[in-house]
Amino acid sequence: MKIAFVGKGGSGKTTLSSLFIRHLAAVGAPVIAIDADINQHLGAALGLDEAVAAGLPAMGDRLALIKDYLRGTNPRIGSAESMIKTTPPGEGSRLLRVREDNPVYDACARPVELDGGPVRLMVTGPFTDADLGVACYHSKTGAVELCLNHLVDGPDEYVVVDMTAGSDSFASGMFTRFDITFLVAEPTRKGVSVYRQYKDYARDFGVELKVVGNKVQGQDDLDFLRAEVGDDLLVTVGHSDWVRAMEKGRPPRFDQLEDVNRRALETLRTTADATYERRDWERYTRQMVHFHLKNAQSWANERHGVDLAAQVDPDFVLSEGVVEPA
Ligand SMILES: Nc1ncnc2c1ncn2[C@@H]1O[C@H](COP(=O)(O)OP(=O)(O)OP(=O)(O)O)[C@@H](O)[C@H]1O
Ligand SMILES: [Mg+2]
């Protein structure tokens, strides 16, 4: 299951992603955690110390390796250089699976020990001011999009992505790559305005979007969220002393998390799991092709001097059943 946490800055995306990841790890589920936010804090929220978190390998710096591995023997992709973030897999491409070892994980993922077992953590890499608004900024999250487009995850396997809700995720196809998107919203006008913007983009692509209210303090907060987002409100989380203790550098054991918050995390899991039956690999493949053709036309053909539409394998449908080259 591919799950994104999005929302306004400071709403609690990283906190809720990290709690959800801990919850999955506690039941022994295989998890890949990906930090794709501008503010790279997921490692720290999973308990890594700052120096270790800052030293994690950045996916954005290993794009050449990622591309070279993923293109495999796909005859439509002549070189890693011709591959852009939206180049879709086709016959001969290598795919990624949650539980395997592969060169992409060797280069980009690091194990993080949580109560219950280890998860794999991958990070896009820190974004500097110079990155914002220019091509290399997109190429950092582009590494995540490429991996998601080559990933065949099954039920009971989880890829959890901590993401921004900024317009950048709409410039690419990234926002369509998930089985479910949890929009974290505080009960404020700004919190719900991000929801509306997201909902508008998401509608045309059949994106499954649910709101997780955060820092919800009482009936008035709850009423506000209900009035603003209606049935899209899935669950709410209040202030957590467990989170606060962790932020003080004294993380309690995860089984000390408040019951009410644990139940909220379980609701997120069952809701994510329930989307599996509705998963549509054909649509998933069609959408990645759509965004690839859009990118090809808008900038990539010109940059590469060839028509990158030729990278699309018209007969290929990504799915758990695809057999890859040895
Ligand atoms: N339910 C909660 N209980 C207690 N503290 C919380 C809760 N949710 C978030 N916080 C605190 O609020 C602050 C912001 O949360 P967080 O960093 O998760 O937000 P974010 O959306 O990831 O922010 P950014 O946009 O900067 O990445 C953090 O200090 C976090 O510990
Ligand atoms: Mg964050």
Q: Answer whether 215 contacts ligand 1 (Cβ < 6 A).
A: yes
CA 34 to ligand 2 center in whole angstroms: 12
| pLDDT score of 164 | 81
pLDDT digits (tens, 9 = 90+) for 125-135: 876 555 555 44
- Domain contains 323: no
pLDDT digits (tens, 9 = 90+) for 133-190: 544 445 567 899 999 999 999 999 999 999 986 666 677 889 999 999 999 999 999 9
| pLDDT score of 166 | 66
Domain containing 296: what range?
Answer: 2-311
DSSP code string of 120-142: EEEE--PPPGGGTTSHHHHHHHH
- φ, ψ for residue 102, nearest 5 deg: -155, 165
What's the rounded mean pLDDT across residues 100-129? 91
pLDDT digits (tens, 9 = 90+) for 266-315: 999 999 999 999 999 999 999 999 999 999 999 899 989 999 999 999 99
- Domain contains 13: yes
- Domain contains 66: yes
What total number of domains does the chain contain?
1
Take residue 32 and report the two structure tokens written for it. 């890949």
CATH number at residue 198: 3.40.50.300
Q: What is the pTM of this model?
A: 0.95
**13 Cβ partners below 8 Å, 6+ apart?**
5, 6, 7, 37, 162, 163, 164, 184
pLDDT(316) > 80: yes
- Domain contains 127: yes
- Domain contains 322: no
User: What is the C-alpha to C-alpha distance for residues 149 and 137, in angstroms, rounded to an integer?
Assistant: 19
Reduced to 3 states (helix: H, G, I; strand: E, B; else coil), residue 35 is strand
Ligand nearest to the CA of 15: 1
| pLDDT score of 168 | 65
CA 12 to ligand 1 center in whole angstroms: 4
Q: CA gyration radius for the chain?
A: 19
Give the DSSP letter of residue 56.
Answer: S
- Domain contains 316: no
- In the block, tokens 């710096």 appear at 61
Choose which residue among 5, 6, 15, 39 to substitute to test ligand 1 binding: the one with the highest number of ligand atoms within 8 A of its C-beta. 15
CA 242 to ligand 2 center in whole angstroms: 18
Reduced to 3 states (helix: H, G, I; strand: E, B; else coil), residue 254 is helix
- Domain contains 325: no
- Domain contains 24: yes
Angle at 114 between CA 111 and CA 119, to 5 degrees: 35
